[in-house]
Every structure is written in structure tokens, then in C-alpha cells.
């Protein structure tokens, strides 16, 4: 008898400080990002239902060390990926929207570590610094920044995430291409303006 595969609809889970114990600073909802203009019309954070438990695990691991997670971006509608690519078509730091981004699949998160007071730990570069200094393993940043990057890498890897070598802040599910890229219209309330 042939094996039948039943596909279930994918659903996005909203991530909030109240439900997940994280800090949110959704940078693309404001103008302090590499495009200098807001990409999103509404600041919101979502992950695919298969990715959300990995974030929960990472939050728990960080809390054991009296640390927190601050999220800069997670699900990114395909329309937003196109806007970013049109502005800066750099394949070293942005996924070509024709191939799809792990963010547009709802299985990637951009984040950093915070101390018990909510202050970001030193990481050597700001989020979205499109430079080799942002690469994992870069020794051109301070020893403190290297330690903090390794700590974030360890927490996220132990929680089940894969990393992108060019961005210390970016983590995604393994084999992320098995998920489809999603548009803004899958959300109950749009993020795009």
C-alpha cells in the first residue's frame, strides 16, 4: 500500500514580549535601517509554527544565564524582501527574492542578546552592518564581542537553529527551502503599508 502524505496548512505564530518573554525592536517598521525608510507599515513579529518552539527553547536557554533575546526581524513578507533587494541587491547579505528568503518563509529570526537590564550585549557591529566585520568568527572585533557572538551562536545552535556565516544576528531553521515563501496577505492584519 503506498504511503500517503497529508499536507497541513502552515500557520504563523505571533511573537510578543508577553507571550514569549522577548524584547522586540522591529527595525524595518521604522527608518533606522539600511534603506533609511520604513519597509513595514506595522511592527509585528511572526514565526512559522514549526520554528516557534525553537525560539521558545532559545529564550529558556538564555534565561538560565540571566540573559534575554531582542528580536530585530523574523517573518518578512515577500513584498518586503523585494523592497530590500531593489534597494540593495547584495547576495552576501540579502536573499534574492526570486529564490526566496528564509525570513519570507517564516523560519528565520534576526536577534541579539541582552543583559538582565535589557541592554544589548556588545557584538562588535550594529545589526545589519553589511561588512565582513559582521561575519561569524571575525577576529577583528573586540574579545568581548567575540565571546558574546559565540554565546549567542551556542544558545541558538543548542536550541536547534542553523546560522548564516555572514551575519552574527541571523538564525534559521535547517533545510529552510522546504517551506514556501509567503506574502503579506497570509497575515490577519497586514504588515506592509
Q: Among all residues, which ones are annotated catalytic?
A: 167
CA–CA distance, 159 with 69 (Å, rounded to integer): 13
Cβ-based neighbour number of residue 2 at 10 Å: 4
End-to-end CA distance of the chain: 50
Answer for the pair 24, 55: CB distance below 8 angstroms, yes or no: no
CA–CA distance, 115 with 102 (Å, rounded to integer): 28
Q: What is the DSSP string of 112-155?
A: EEE-TTSPBPP-SS-TT--SGGGSTT-TTS-HHHHHHHHHHHHH
CA–CA distance, 152 with 62 (Å, rounded to integer): 9
Amino acid at each position: 500500500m503506498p504511503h500517503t502524505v497529508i499536507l497541513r496548512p502552515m500557520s504563523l505564530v505571533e511573537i510578543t514580549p508577553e507571550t514569549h518573554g522577548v524584547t522586540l525592536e522591529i527595525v524595518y517598521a521604522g527608518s533606522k535601517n539600511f534603506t533609511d525608510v520604513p519597509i513595514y507599515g506595522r511592527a509585528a513579529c511572526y514565526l512559522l509554527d514549526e520554528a516557534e518552539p525553537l525560539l521558545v527553547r532559545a529564550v529558556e536557554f538564555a534565561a538560565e544565564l540571566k540573559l534575554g533575546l531582542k528580536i530585530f526581524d523574523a517573518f518578512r513578507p515577500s513584498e518586503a524582501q523585494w523592497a530590500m533587494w531593489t534597494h540593495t541587491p547584495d547576495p552576501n547579505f540579502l536573499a534574492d527574492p526570486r529564490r526566496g528568503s528564509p525570513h519570507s518563509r517564516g523560519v528565520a529570526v534576526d536577534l541579539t542578546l541582552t543583559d538582565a537590564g535589557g541592554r544589548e550585549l556588545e557584538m562588535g557591529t550594529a545589526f545589519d552592518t553589511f561588512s565582513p566585520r559582521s561575519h561569524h568568527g571575525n577576529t577583528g572585533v573586540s574579545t568581548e564581542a567575540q565571546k558574546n557572538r559565540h554565546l549567542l551562536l551556542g544558545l541558538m545552535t543548542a536550541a536547534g537553529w542553523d546560522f548564516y556565516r555572514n551575519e552574527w544576528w541571523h538564525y534559521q531553521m535547517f533545510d529552510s527551502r522546504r517551506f514556501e515563501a509567503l506574502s503579506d496577505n497570509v497575515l490577519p492584519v497586514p504588515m506592509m503599508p
